Structures are given as structure tokens and as C-alpha cells.
């Protein structure tokens, strides 16, 4: 079922689990982001879009796929907001919309035997909801 813009924004807020309403748009996160030069929407802008419920704009942005999850933005934020988690939330929602429930614990025998446990757990996090 296709989600409405409002439902997508709610999911992004839930996945990001960071209080974006605390953002004062100071721009420190964007200034410190090492991947900012490659981004169409800087971290502070992504936070602003989420505050305003613009999930459609966020899912069309290329920025989340340039983000390296270095957490520098979160580290620099004076308001305790995590733009990194916002980026991750967009990646998760985009992947879930594309693939749905692709992984299931019942099919564990189908996964490579030499797959690192950490990779398996990370994949479950992304694909099984």
C-alpha cells in the first residue's frame, strides 16, 4: 500500500527518533558535514524538511546516499538533534518502500554461511520491518 505524504513523514519521525523540532537552523551540522559538497539538500535543510512534514522532498533528495554516517553533524549540534539519524531514516524508508519484507528469520538457511553476524543483524534491521 502506498503511504501518504503525512504517513511517510510520521514514519520518518519515528525511524529517526530525534527531536527535530529543537532545531534552530543554525547550520552548524551543514558546515561540518564532510559530504556536504556533494549534497543537494544539506543536513540542516533535511531536518527543516522533516519539521515541515515534507517527506516527499526528502525521499527525492540525493543527500542521504552521500551521507557517510560519520555523525559529525550530531556531534556539532548545539540542540541535541541528529541529522545523521534523519539521513538514515530516509534510507530505511526508501529501502523498505522498494523491497518490503525481504528477509525473514525462518529462511536463515538461505543466507550465506560465511555472512558476518553483524551484517546479518544490520540487514534484518533494514529489511524485515
Q: Would you tell me which residues interact with ligand SF4 (CB under 6 A)? A: 23-29, 33-35, 43-44, 47, 67-73, 76-77, 79, 81, 83-84, 87
Q: Residue 10 class from Cβ within 10 Å (0-12 exposed, 13-18 middle, 19+ buried)?
A: middle
Residue with Cβ nearer ligand SF4 (16 or 43): 43
- Taking the complex as a whole, the smallest distance from the CB of residue 51 to ligand SF4 amounts, in Å, to 9
Distance CA 104, CA 2 (A): 22
C-alpha cell at 90: 530516509
Angle (CA) 125 51 74, round 5°: 60
Residue with Cβ nearer ligand SF4 (20 or 55): 20
Residue with Cβ nearer ligand SF4 (13 or 103): 13
Amino acid at each position: 500500500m502506498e503511504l501518504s505524504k503525512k504517513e511517510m513523514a510520521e514514519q520518518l519521525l519515528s525511524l529517526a527518533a530525534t527531536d527535530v523540532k529543537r532545531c534552530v537552523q543554525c547550520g552548524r551540522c551543514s558546515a561540518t558535514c564532510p559530504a556536504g559538497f556533494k549534497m543537494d539538500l544539506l543536513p540542516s535543510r533535511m531536518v527543516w524538511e522533516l519539521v515541515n512534514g515534507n517527506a516527499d522532498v526528502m525521499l527525492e533528495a540525493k543527500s542521504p546516499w552521500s551521507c557517510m554516517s560519520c555523525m559529525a553533524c550530531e556531534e556539532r549540534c548545539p540542540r541535541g538533534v541528529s541529522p545523521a539519524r534523519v539521513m538514515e531514516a530516509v534510507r530505511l524508508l526508501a529501502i523498505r518502500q522498494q523491497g518490503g519484507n525481504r528477509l525473514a528469520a525462518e529462511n536463515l538457511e538461505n543466507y550465506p554461511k560465511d555472512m558476518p553476524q553483524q551484517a546479518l543483524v544490520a540487514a534484518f534491521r533494514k529489511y524485515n520491518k
